Amino acid sequence: MSSNLRIVLISGLWSFVQVWKRVLYLVNIHLGFEQREFYMKKLGKNFF
């Protein structure tokens, strides 16, 4: 039971990471480096 739960958690985390990397890739295309730095700092303040 617990091993199945672990597999589900790992695969869920993996798919989340894939989506997040895709999002960051798209953000990199649409924004310049300086703008991205600014947004990352802003997001960091909002999240943490």
Q: What is the pLDDT of residues 1-48, one digit of tens each?
A: 688 999 999 999 999 999 999 988 887 776 666 776 777 788 777 664
pLDDT of residue 47: 61
28 CB contacts (<8 Å, ≥6 apart)? Answer: 36
Domain spans of the chain, in order of start:
2-47
pTM greater than 0.75: no
pLDDT of residue 32: 67
| Cα 2 to Cα 21: distance, rounded to the nearest angstrom | 28
pLDDT of residue 24: 86
